[in-house]
């Protein structure tokens, strides 16, 4: 090693890894709430610097221009704007503060939501202030709430101790929360080590094509990618996407009661059924990703964060549609076995008695394929933001 390189290596080793957090203050915030949010952002920087001194914390606050919009807002609208700023500025995390109520799907009053797939959180001040009751200042409550959602964004589970990770059922709970438990702080430190690693766009591979960039990004984040997919809970798609399942269930009822469906299934080989099943899962996944605008745009420079989020969303949707297909297949198999005897199947299809079991299996798979396709068309009629809320919002707080 050349003698002149040693001081540079020492200086590099002495430089703490950097974690950047952006605070976006929406234009609907009145002056006093904007000031409270700025105080909360500054307090967060001081708190994290004291708690995790091994990192260099950079917190940037941006004020949106004023707006006249009122009433509840779809969280995905704010997430879209936050994702643009996060991508352009290279932030590790984004917090959006708004005065408007956040439209929830599980809670009537939502103080905040987290979207781990985008490393973003939304916080509403709509229910944080109550002049009629004794409470901590708004800035203190905002600080506590953002420390809570910061922990949730980084995989910390709620606990019963009076720490920042205590479950928040109402705004008054924020007044009784302070600090992280030692195990939570250690887990947060380990997570920040991963976040602060050198990103792919900062390496020599950045300009060697998007395919190689994506491959390098996914390999570098191979340990975190399963968690990114799990946050979207693909196993719950059949229970949470009601219009998809309503359309799929209606199609299944018609298909399984139609003699022509049995005839077609009887004349399809197992290989063709397998190909149709795979095509149905991948085709509907691609359709939903495109129709619901789930992937971030490729405009602008390539970013590791965006590559991982796009890959995680794609994998989660494919897994969700595979789970949906498996559920419909199981239901069709039960109906085929319980409602249709061998004599009826032989009369409809002309196969032998011994082939009736095979025909049932093929009919169930064919019906599942077509039902998933029709169900995906039904999912396209979900209200604005609902599909993305189900797939991209982790927690309502």
In the prediction, which pLDDT does 132 show?
53
Q: Mean pLDDT over residues 191-205, rounded?
A: 73
- Can you tell me the distance from the alpha carbon of 373 to that of 375, in angstroms, rounded to the nearest whole number? 5
Instruction: Answer with the residue of higher pLDDT: 13 or 72.
Output: 72
pTM: 0.81
pLDDT at 198 over 70: no
In the prediction, which pLDDT does 293 show?
82
- Can you tell me the distance from the alpha carbon of 181 to that of 221, in angstroms, rounded to the nearest whole number? 27
- Can you tell me the distance from the alpha carbon of 213 to that of 302, in angstroms, rounded to the nearest whole number? 8
- Can you tell me the distance from the alpha carbon of 106 to that of 144, in angstroms, rounded to the nearest whole number? 22
Q: Which residues make Cβ contacts (< 8 Å) with residue 147, sequence separation at least 6?
A: 44, 47, 164, 180
Report the relative pairing of strands 18-25 and 93-98 from DSSP bridges: parallel
Percentage above 70 pLDDT, the chain: 90
In the prediction, which pLDDT does 203 show?
66
Binned at pLDDT 50, 70 and 90, residue 131 comes out as low
pLDDT at 194 over 70: yes
Write the pLDDT tens digit of every residue in 112-130. 999 988 889 999 998 887 6
Q: Mean pLDDT over residues 49-72, rounded?
A: 87
* Helix axes of 304-339 and 210-220: crossing angle, nearest 10 degrees: 80
Q: Mean pLDDT over residues 27-53, rounded?
A: 93
Q: What is the mean pLDDT of the chain?
A: 85
In the prediction, which pLDDT does 102 show?
92
* Cβ proximity of 29 and 99 under 8 Å: yes
In the prediction, which pLDDT does 6 show?
46
pLDDT at 380 over 50: yes
Report the relative pairing of strands 112-115 and 395-396 from DSSP bridges: antiparallel
Neighbours of 207 (CB within 10 A): 11
Neighbours of 268 (CB within 10 A): 16
In the prediction, which pLDDT does 202 show?
63
Q: Mean pLDDT over residues 95-112, rounded?
A: 91
Tokens of 239: 């229970």
* Cβ proximity of 151 and 164 under 8 Å: yes
In the prediction, which pLDDT does 201 show?
64
In the prediction, which pLDDT does 307 show?
82
Question: Is the dihedral angle over the CA atoms 316, 321, 322, 324 positive or is it negative?
Answer: positive
Write the pLDDT tens digit of every residue in 261-296. 888 988 889 899 999 999 999 999 999 988 888 886
């Amino acid at each position: 090693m050349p003698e002149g390189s040693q001081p540079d290596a020492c200086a590099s080793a002495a430089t703490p890894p950097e974690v950047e957090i952006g605070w976006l203050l929406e234009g609907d915030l009145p002056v006093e709430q904007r000031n409270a949010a700025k105080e909360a952002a500054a307090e967060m920087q001081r708190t994290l610097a004291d708690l995790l001194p091994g990192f260099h914390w950079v917190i940037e606050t941006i004020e949106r221009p004023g707006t006249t919009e009122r009433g509840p807002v779809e969280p995905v609208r704010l997430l879209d704007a936050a994702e643009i700023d996060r991508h352009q500025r290279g932030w590790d995390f984004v917090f959006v503060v708004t005065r408007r109520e956040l439209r929830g799907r599980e809670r009537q009053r939502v103080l905040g939501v987290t979207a781990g797939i985008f490393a973003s959180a939304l916080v509403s001040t709509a229910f944080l202030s109550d002049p009629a009751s004794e409470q901590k200042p708004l800035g203190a409550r905002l600080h506590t709430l953002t420390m809570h959602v910061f922990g949730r964004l980084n995989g910390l589970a709620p606990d019963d101790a009076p720490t920042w990770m205590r479950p928040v059922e109402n705004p008054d709970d924020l007044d009784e929360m302070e600090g992280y438990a030692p195990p939570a702080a250690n887990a947060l430190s380990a997570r920040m080590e991963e976040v602060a690693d050198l990103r792919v766009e900062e390496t020599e591979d950045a300009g060697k094509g998007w395919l190689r960039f994506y491959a390098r990004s996914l390999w570098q984040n191979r340990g975190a990618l399963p968690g990114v997919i799990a946050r979207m809970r693909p196993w719950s798609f059949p229970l949470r996407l009601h219009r998809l399942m309503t359309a799929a269930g209606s199609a299944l009822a018609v298909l399984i009661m139609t003699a022509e469906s049995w005839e077609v299934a009887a004349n399809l080989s197992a290989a063709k059924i397998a190909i149709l099943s795979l095509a149905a899962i991948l085709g509907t996944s691609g359709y939903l990703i495109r129709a619901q605008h789930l992937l971030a745009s490729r405009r602008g420079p390539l970013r590791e964060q965006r590559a991982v989020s796009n890959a995680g969303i794609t994998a989660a949707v494919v897994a969700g549609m595979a789970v949906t297909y498996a559920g419909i297949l199981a239901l069709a198999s039960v109906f085929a076995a319980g409602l249709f005897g061998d004599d009826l199947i032989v009369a409809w299809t002309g196969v032998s008695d011994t082939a009736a079991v095979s025909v049932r299996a093929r009919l169930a798979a064919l019906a599942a394929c077509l039902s998933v396709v029709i169900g995906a068309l039904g999912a396209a009629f979900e209200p604005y933001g609902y599909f993305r809320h189900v797939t991209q919002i982790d927690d309502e707080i």
